[in-house]
Structure 1
Amino acid sequence: MRSGKKSIHAITTWVRRQPPKVKAFLAVVSGMAALVLLRFIVHDHDNLFVAAEAVHSLGISVLIYKLIKEKTCAGLSLKSQELTAIFLAVRLYCSFVMEYDIHTLLDLATFATTLWVIYMIRFKLKSSYMEEKDNFAIYYVVIPCAVLALFIHPSTSHHLLNRISWAFCVYLEAVSVLPQLRVMQNTQIVEPFTAHYVFALGVARFLSCAHWVLQVLDSRGHLLVALGYGLWPSMVLISEIVQTFILADFCYYYVKSVFGGQLVLRLPSGVV
């Protein structure tokens, strides 16, 4: 056991000393290796999407436990929760008018839970909310996502407004975690439950990304044609990949902290 920890420590120390370009290359190689492994282990790749939703639900459960049992919202970003509520509300609208399925019910449950979290932070636990640390201006992501959706959106037969709305929620979901990462960057110390929640988001994002990438590979690119023409199919995949890489650095330090037996995650300057 000790030799295993020493090996992990040696590897993480070596990785930390590498220049940014080498780290980026190693991240890409690791991601590709994980995709290859999942392709052979998981026969029905639709299960990856279900697993992503399950992990996301687990992360929300951890967040609920923190708010109820510890009665504090310290370290949580209200703005990230608000962005999540926005893209879920738009996606629910699109689901009802474009394609209603089981995922609509799952989104509805997540939306209700997110509204409850927002209520707890704004009113019940306001005294513990780190407002000065939660200083990410959300219009920096909302406006660019809206503008991008105007120009790049699905090419289906649905009403133009619905297609633009769908694209907007896809883009906004990809960057909704940025305010939470800013809070952690400002504090540099992340308590366990918040770390568990963000790590669950990272794993869920990776599984969702893996689902789309493997579906494209299995269909030999035909899935991209099914999504429409123009830049939209590529933007869907790019959005999934962006979500994954935004959280990749945090997940690396989370895993390192867990193997090191640390209860509180301490982030080096400039990690997120």
Structure 2
Amino acid sequence: MNAFRLCGDMTHLLSVVVLLLKIHTIKSCAGVSLKTQELYALVFASRYLDLFVHFISLYNTFMKLVFLASSFSIVWYMRRHKIVRRTYDKDHDTFRHHFLVLPCLALALLINEKFTFREVMWAFSIYLEAVAILPQLVLLQRTRNIDNLTGQYVFFLGAYRVLYILNWIYRYFTEPHFVHWISWIAGIVQTLLYADFFYYYIIRGEEIHVICVSCKIAL
């Protein structure tokens, strides 16, 4: 495992920790899209079908269990926890996410590395992950009110994808015959979806910095 892959995994894990910290500690899911969280739960459930039949390493198994458990926990919190669910903004989180599932499944049936159930489900999870963030981005655009933890959550998710692209580039030049077109194209599409958020996240950070500096000068 190279440094880009490890940093990508840790950044992905950090995004989950940030979101769980917000939900569990603050008891709030304001600004968080339940539709995106349900899509991620479906992504991990369909990708890790080999969890108990194909052992790679303890690290690999641990990460799979963490992402499965955390994704379903977040969905449960947002749907069932009495306090947390009251903060859910269902009036703005109206993206019809089920319209993303069927096209991704159809694409997986048509374009996959091998036409078996597990491989089709793996391809489906890759395609679905590429667009799963859309409901979250639409929600943020509609509310235009990004709190610090929600912003960090989306930022770390985007950073994880960027680091994985660097991981693929590194492996392409260091490992013979390393070609995974499905992952590569889906990963690039997913990264492009984050581009607009990154721009406004950085601009917003600069504005906050300018305000803080101005306040200090005034004082």
Same fold, TM-score > 0.5, yes or no: yes
Structure 1 residues 29-86: Cα deviation after superposition (integer angstroms, max 9, x where no partner): xxxxxxxxxxxxxxxx722111111011111111122112222111100111111111
Distance 1:128 1:63, change over 3 A: same
Q: Distance in 2 between matches of 1:72 and 1:218?
A: 45
Contact preservation (8 Å) 1:94, 1:165? no
Contiguous gaps of at least 5 residues in structure 2? 210-219
Structure 1 residues 100-152: Cα deviation after superposition (integer angstroms, max 9, x where no partner): 43323202111111111111111221111111111111122111110000011
Structure 1 residues 133-187: Cα deviation after superposition (integer angstroms, max 9, x where no partner): 11111122111110000011113xxx71111111111111111111111111111
User: Does 2:68 align with 1:121?
Assistant: no
Structure 1 residues 46-195: aligned runs within 5 Å? 46-98=2-54, 100-101=56-57, 102-124=59-81, 125-155=84-114, 160-195=116-151
Matched residue SS, 1:190: coil
Distance 1:89 1:71, change over 3 A: same
RMSD after superposition: 1.8
Runs of 4+ in structure 1 deviating by more than 3 angstroms, as ranges, are: 94-101, 217-220
TM-score, normalization by structure 2: 0.87
Contiguous gaps of at least 5 residues in structure 1? 1-44, 225-232, 263-272
Counterpart selection for 1:234 from 173, 177, 181: 181
With 234-243 and 94-103 compared, the bigger mean Cα shift is at 94-103
TM-score, normalization by structure 1: 0.71
- Between Structure 1 and Structure 2, how many residues are aligned? 206
Distance 1:167 1:148, change over 3 A: same
Tell me the percent identity: 33
Matched residue SS, 1:74: coil
